[in-house]
Amino acid sequence: MPVHNADIAAIFDEIADLLEIQGANPFRVRAYRNAARTVGDFGRDLAALVNKGQALPKIPGVGDDLAGKIREIATTGRCAALEQLHKQLPAAVTELLRIPGLGPKRVKALYDALHVDTPEALREAAQSGRIRDLPGFGEKTEAHILEALKVRSGEARRFKLPVAAQYAEALVAWLRKIKGVKQVEIAGSYRRRKETVGDIDILVAARDGGPVMERFTAYDEVREVLAHGETRASVVLRSGLQVDLRVVEPDSFGAALHYFTGSKAHNIAVRKRAQERGLKVNEYGVFRGEARVAGETEASVFEAVELPWIPPELREDRGEIEWAARAPLPRLVERGDLRGDLHCHSKASDGSATLKELAEAARARGLEYLAITEHSQRLTVARGLDAERLLKQMDEIDRLNAGLDGITLLKGIEVDILEDGRLDLPDAVLGKLDLVVGAVHSHFELPPARQMKRLMRAIDHPHFTLLAHPTTRQLDKRPALELDWLRLIRHVRERGCFLELDSQPDRLDLIDIYCRMAKEEGVLVAVNSDAHRVEDFGDLDYGIGQARRGWLEAKDVLNARRLAQLRPLLERTM
């Protein structure tokens, strides 16, 4: 069976989780975490290299031991180290890690203090009020756990975009090789670039669906066939991802692509508009009576209801139809619009590349400038920089810039916003930088009023430039902060600062609705990679998808400006 990089990463992540629950050496845990992230996004198919007998390429943070485990997983699909850990802990403990808000540290605390080792035991402990008395929990956390358990019981597993992409794109490439297939496209929430997807919808244009159905259900990663008909089939892959396939006639492909891309609310609004014009829209086309008047392309479907083509990212029934009916839609930002990146980390803190390696990788991605923003001293787990180390790095950046061609490094810092809103480095040092990126890395549980006061005080700091990953959410792990976001965004505007859209697939933070709110309030958003290794610049594609869902145009994106245009904006905040 094929093994994808995402499969290897998932095993390394699970090993890290279980080791952390056991209280293993933090450096060992971090090694697996870093390897999971590196391998999951690695640009080459590692299992394919192993199975061809080729040597593994040099992978940052992956030494001989982890490389051996990669080869083991690639050839067997299993990992003995993970199986050994499963024997040492109750099997259901892993299930607790899938509950939002429960990371390994909290799972360990619950396991050690209350012997909670299953979701059922967790629910009982929360309902009986025993969790609130544990250090670091409290009544609010207990309530969040109960709510998460309630939501989880009614929801199927969702996959982050890069993980879903590895399985979906490989399957699509395989389907395109089938004789008689004209077109193959992924539709659904994947095409709308939602942060996570519950399943994958694939459309195939072909005159004869039989061969496609047979090949699809026989795909070697299929674990279970849920349905198998002449033009539609549904399977579950070994990864747990459900894939639904539909074969349509080429003349109906555009209508089907529109229909299965969704969203449901958008489709209902389009159908209502069609009915007002005496038309009927479905997955087979646009009809006036029995006559099909459109459907071969998506553009023809929209044209039939007197609309321009609407980008998939906007199809959420959030005003896109009304806007398109009266005026041209915004020209959404594209990856090629980005001129630079204002958030990355080198080996000096918790990154894996040198300054020069980061600069060269950013330049290779078409960027003209890159801000180096290490963590500050408070974040000891990330080897944060104190004032002395930061000053030395600034000198190093000056020396590098003198010899770099085609890219400029900017001097920055990702400074911790402390519990009371102060910044984690002295003003005398912050004032020497090109930009100061402020971030919350602790005290997520503060009451909303205190959290708001904390952020507003930080933003008011005379050297503050950019609020990093503003809601602090981590998909499947930590919910967004509960704040008055309109008030906060307006405060950012009044101060003349900016907001970040962190492109890490685990974050994709700023959330799309807040991106649009920032646009409407005139606050520029920086689409940054938060790169910790050279491969992470590829995550900018996911950030752009999120920005497009938030209706952002190039003019709304801070780092879509040339360096000469950017500098005055940065200087205004320093």
Q: What's the pLDDT band for 380 if we cut at 50, 70, 90?
A: confident
Task: Report the distance separating Cα 87 and Cα 463, nearest Å.
Answer: 52
The answer to which of 7-11, 133-137, 323-327, 433-437 has the lowest mean pLDDT is 133-137
Q: Name which of 164, 185, 187, 165 is nearest 175 in CA terms.
A: 185
Q: Of 326, 354, 299, 401, nearest to 531 (Cα)?
A: 354
Q: What is the pLDDT of residue 92?
A: 67
What is the edge-to-edge ordering of all strands in the sheet holding 181-186? 181-186, 199-206, 242-248, 232-237, 222-228
How far is the C-alpha of 393 from the C-alpha of 377, rounded, in Å? 14
Task: Compute the average pLDDT of residues 509-535.
Answer: 96
For 228-267, the pLDDT digits (tens) are 999 999 999 998 999 999 999 999 999 999 999 999 999 9
Position 328 scores a pLDDT of: 93
Q: What is the pLDDT of residues 459-478, one digit of tens each?
A: 999 999 999 999 999 998 88
Other CB atoms within 10 A of residue 309 CB: 15
Each residue's pLDDT tens digit, 333-343: 999 999 999 99
SS3 410: strand
Is the predicted pLDDT of residue 152 greater than 70, yes or no? no
pLDDT of residue 153: 59
Percent of the chain scored above 90 by pLDDT? 74
Q: Is the pLDDT of residue 175 over 90?
A: yes
Handedness of CA 542, 548, 552, 556 (dihedral sign): positive
The mean pLDDT of 270-281, rounded to a whole number, is: 96
30 C-beta neighbours (distance < 10 Å), count: 17
* pLDDT exceeds cutoff 70 at 574: no
pLDDT surpasses 90 at 402: yes
pLDDT at 99 over 90: no
Find the farthest-apart pair of alpha carbons in the chain and give their distance in angstroms, rounded. Answer: 77
- The region that residue 179 occupies, defined by phi over 0 for left and psi between -120 and 50 for alpha, beta otherwise, is beta
pLDDT at residue 98 tops 80: no
Q: Is the peptide bond before 263 cis (omega within 30 degrees of 0)?
A: yes
Mean pLDDT, the chain, integer:
92
Residue 40 CA to residue 162 CA, distance in Å, equals: 8
pLDDT of residue 60: 81
Cβ-contact 547, 515 below 8 angstroms = yes
Query: pTM for this structure?
Result: 0.85
The DSSP secondary-structure symbol of 57 reads P
Top mean-pLDDT range of 12-26, 246-260, 371-385 = 246-260
**Bridge partners of residue 458, in order along the sequence:** none
Give the start-end residues of each E strand in 249-359.
280-282, 285-288, 291-294, 340-341
Alpha helices per DSSP H over 77-203: 80-88, 93-96, 104-114, 119-127, 139-153, 161-175, 188-191
User: What is the pLDDT at residue 58?
Assistant: 85
Top pLDDT among 316 and 157 is at: 316
Please state, in angstroms and as integers, the Cα–Cα distance from residue 106 to each residue in 22, 92, 112, following that order. Answer: 12, 15, 10
Does residue 453 register a pLDDT over 60? yes
Strand partners, 245: 202, 233
pLDDT, greater one: 157 or 500 = 500
Which residues sit opposite 228 in a β-bridge?
233
Least confident of 53-62, 360-369, 435-444: 53-62
Considering only 108-117, 121-130, 189-198, which range has the smallest mean pLDDT?
Answer: 108-117
Q: Which residue has the higher pLDDT, 435 or 17?
A: 435
Determine contact, residues 205/248, Cβ cutoff 8 Å: yes
Per-position DSSP letters for 516-552, written without gaps between them: HHHHHHT--EEEE--BSSGGGGGGHHHHHHHHHHTT-
- Quick one: pLDDT at residue 155? 58
CA torsion through residues 316, 320, 322, 324, sign:
negative
Q: What integer pLDDT is reported at residue 151 of this predicted model?
A: 65
**Residue 452 CB coordination number (10 Å):** 20
Percent share of the chain, pLDDT over 70: 98
Residue 518 has pLDDT above 80, yes or no: yes
Sorted by where each starts, the structural domains of the chain and their CATH numbers stand as 5-153 (1.10.150.110), 160-326 (3.30.460.10), 335-573 (3.20.20.140)
pLDDT in tens, 525-540: 999 999 999 999 999 9
For the chain, the 3-state helix, strand and coil shares in percent, each to the nearest 5, are 45, 15, 35
d(CA 136, CA 381): 19
Does residue 402 or residue 23 have the better pLDDT? 402
Whole-angstrom distance, CA of residue 463 vs CA of residue 574 = 4
The residue among 59 and 268 whose pLDDT is bigger is 268
Q: What does the DSSP assignment read for 285-308?
A: EEEETTEEEE-SSHHHHHHHTT--
